[in-house]
Structure 1
Amino acid sequence: MVCDEHNRNPTSRIICLGEYLSAHVLTCLVPAFFIAGAISVFLSKEAVLKYLGPQAKKIVSYGVASVSGSILAVCSCTILPLFAGILRRGAGLGPATTFLYSSPAINILAIVYTAAVLGYDLGAARAIGAISMSLVIGFIMATIFRGEEKKRTTSMAAAVSEKVEGGLLGKLSVFSLLVLILVVGASKIAPTPKVVSLLLFIVLLIVCLLKWFTTEDIREWLGETWSFFKMIFPLLLVGVFIAGILQVILPQRIVEVYLGGEGILPNLFASIIGALMYFATLTEVPIIKTLMNLGMGRGPALTLLLAGPSLSLPNMMVIGRIMGIKKLIVYILLVVIISALVGYAYGNIF
């Protein structure tokens, strides 16, 4: 969580929930909801189908999905509105799942921070492992559910996109400013320049909206944003609270003991822990550094880096609502098992 990982009493969990609301929601999730709404309204459905749809060349769709989150400093929860947005707009399940997994794990800031704190080998292994895993997981998901996805994407491709004004320059300006707001909001820069930058970007965003878009376009965008908020945010709150409780009742000494060594069991245990815990952006690195100082192996450390940022209990609850329980179960199993295998291979080779 955002707060000190050593403070494990129940009151601190409530405080952490408050920190999540004040620091994480305002700077990360709110911009993500607005971006998701913009994807649903302003982004051409034809463009999504061209680059991320089931008929797109796989090297293009999976390639774009696997690296497109590199500039976004997002966590497993912040990525959810964006995932829902591109899925609703017609992206295939495979590329959308690739984007869902890779984005929280491969943003440039996280990779650089991992290399600086945990070593360049772990930083490189995290980047290569996350991109490779995202491609494998996305392809397997698309293969398993190809029948259901064919029906969904066919109906989407047949639907007529609604007319939205603004032109390419207007849409590009709005998306660029929304991404800048998200990136700056999630950054660790000093409060004063952060607030000044955010206010400037927000003013420019308002100017662009008024210049290039109609009142009806803006109203539709806000309506889609509110729709994503209602669908996702309540479940995130419940999930973050439950994850905090789990961190209280899970004995820390047991975690330390079972994460030692480079065998398959420590890696599997690390993968399961990573799947259940919630890591705010970048907080996984100091937590893993602490566990390594207490004896955690390098293989389980990589496993936690691969499973933790891309899965969490709050994240699971929302994914199940977005794409269904069957797909959720398969996705969780793929992330947990493949993360453990990659960590095991890394720990025993290096």
Structure 2
Amino acid sequence: MRSSALNPSKVSPLMRWLLALGLLVPAWWWSYTHLTGFADAVLHQLGLTRQTSLGEAVHFFLFDTPKVLLLLTGVVFVMGVVQTFFAPERTRAMLAGKREGVGNILAALLGIVTPFCSCSAVPLFIGILSAGVPLGVTFSFLISAPMVNEVALVMLMGLFGWKVAALYLVLGLTVAIVAGIVIGRLGMERYLEDWVQAVAKGQGSASYEGDGLTWAERFQAGANHVREIVGKVWPYVVAGIALGAGIHGYVPEDFMAAIMGRDAWWSVPVAVLLGVPMYTNAAGVIPIVQALLGKGAALGTVLAFMMSVIALSAPEMIILRKALKPRLIATFAGVVALGILLVGYIFNLVL
């Protein structure tokens, strides 16, 4: 008897992936465009209305949780495929030997396409240093990778529109580039730990893994990326949305105006200080940002808070201590914090 043309054993891996994506992509889009109806229906089943604080908080949670997770899954999958063309070794090779300024700009731009949180960017930061890349150039990458990654940009665009996303992109890149140049000119290489200085004197070898991958293998790498990153991040996303829902539903507007309002000169530094102990990534902090803006907080202050959460987290500093001496860590934190403060004040004045 002739075997069926749809026999799974006869279907190539690439065809299986194309069939799966042909089903999953429309399902993703349908789910993303029907979130409001889903949240309204569940809220009705719970016997709640959006006219109450509890109802508004629950609706916020029901709407934003799947929205953020859908955005996160889609972006991480695409970037997982992209990264099969863009190995870390190639990143180090592209940055090595670049002049000040040019290297800082290139490093900051490369940070956009590396979907790392601040802590996971540290190992690559150390690897780039070990390849002999200038210290200031490497710091531009370390700042940009968590703060201006594609997850933050796509989710900001999806939640707040392209103008806020573009504003965040320009601000983040400016902070990363300028802070890297300042740190580079301070000549603080002696404050690298001894083992990092010793490794940096050697020559690194670049092996471009992934150049010979098939498209089926690249799609599989994207799926593995989703499993690895989303699998680790989703609790932070849910926790961040829950906090954002509580703020959205219960925190009085006058209280938020007092903390992050446009007229309080101390709101920006307080927002930065509040952000440092909080460890999350762009996906986890954006729901909180959304809730704060919804309560009337100033955009510049909220962006400063978001940047400090992502780029100056306490766990990041602990990991950096393995490679950097305390004075260099303090300089890094101080320079970046100053840039974030300026961003907050300037945009509170302009907007």
| Runs of 4+, deviation exceeding 4 Å | 149-158, 167-174, 176-183, 252-256
Q: Report the 3-state secondary structure (helix = DSSP H, G, I; strand = E; otherwise coil) of the residue aligned with 2:327.
A: helix
| TM-score (ref. length: structure 2) | 0.59
Q: Report the 3-state secondary structure (helix = DSSP H, G, I; strand = E; otherwise coil) of the residue aligned with 1:285.
A: helix
Deviations 1:87-124 (A, max 9, x none): 23322211111111001122223112113323433211
The residue number in structure 2 matching 1:159 is: 202
The residue number in structure 1 matching 2:112 is: 70
CA distance 1:181–1:335, shift in 2 (3 Å) = farther
Is contact 1:125-1:302 (8 Å) kept?
no
Number of equivalenced pairs: 253
Shift of 1:284: 1.0
Q: Distance in 2 between matches of 1:172 and 1:88?
A: 26
Shift of 1:142: 1.1
Q: Distance in 1 between matches of 2:284 and 2:343?
A: 22
Q: Distance in 2 between matches of 1:257 and 1:126?
A: 24
Q: Distance in 1 between matches of 2:132 and 2:212?
A: 20
CA distance 1:88–1:160, shift in 2 (3 Å) = closer
Deviations 1:17-44 (A, max 9, x none): xxxxxxxxxx99xx9xxx9xx95xxx48
State the superposition RMSD in angstroms.
4.2
1:261 aligns with 2:262: yes
Shift of 1:128: 0.3
* Residue among 80, 99, 114 paired with 1:57: 99
Gaps of 5+ in 1: 1-5, 7-26, 192-239
Shift of 1:149: 7.6
The residue number in structure 2 matching 1:327 is: 328
Shift of 1:345: 0.4
Q: Which has the higher contact order (CA 8 A, sep 6+)?
A: 1
Q: Report the 3-state secondary structure (helix = DSSP H, G, I; strand = E; otherwise coil) of the residue aligned with 1:283.
A: helix
Matched letter for residue 118 of structure 1: F
Is contact 1:74-1:281 (8 Å) kept?
no
Q: Report the 3-state secondary structure (helix = DSSP H, G, I; strand = E; otherwise coil) of the residue aligned with 1:72.
A: coil
* Residue among 122, 135, 154 paired with 1:112: 154
1:101 aligns with 2:143: yes
Matched letter for residue 52 of structure 1: L
1:143 aligns with 2:185: yes
The residue number in structure 1 matching 2:278 is: 277
Q: Distance in 2 between matches of 1:59 and 1:102?
A: 15
Matching of residues 71-86 of structure 1 within 5 Å: 71-86=113-128
Matched letter for residue 92 of structure 1: P
Is contact 2:132-2:203 (8 Å) kept?
no
CA distance 1:256–1:140, shift in 2 (3 Å) = same
* Greater Cα offset, 179-188 or 322-331: 179-188
Look at both structures and tell me which one has the larger radius of gyration over its CA atoms. Answer: 2
The residue number in structure 2 matching 1:309 is: 310
Deviations 1:279-327 (A, max 9, x none): 2341111111112223321111111232221121111111122211111
The residue number in structure 2 matching 1:287 is: 288
The residue number in structure 1 matching 2:66 is: none
Q: Report the 3-state secondary structure (helix = DSSP H, G, I; strand = E; otherwise coil) of the residue aligned with 2:182.
A: helix
Q: Distance in 2 between matches of 1:306 and 1:82?
A: 20
Is contact 2:101-2:181 (8 Å) kept?
no
Q: Distance in 2 between matches of 1:157 and 1:88?
A: 4
Is contact 2:130-2:200 (8 Å) kept?
no
Shift of 1:127: 0.4
The residue number in structure 2 matching 1:218 is: none
CA distance 1:348–1:61, shift in 2 (3 Å) = same
Is contact 1:270-1:303 (8 Å) kept?
yes
Q: Distance in 1 between matches of 2:220 and 2:329?
A: 29
Q: Distance in 1 between matches of 2:136 and 2:317?
A: 17
Gaps of 5+ in 2: 1-53, 55-75, 244-250
Q: Distance in 2 between matches of 1:172 and 1:62?
A: 30
Q: Distance in 1 between matches of 2:120 and 2:189?
A: 29
Matched letter for residue 159 of structure 1: G
Is contact 2:131-2:202 (8 Å) kept?
no
Q: Distance in 1 between matches of 2:140 and 2:148?
A: 12
Identity of aligned residues (%): 21
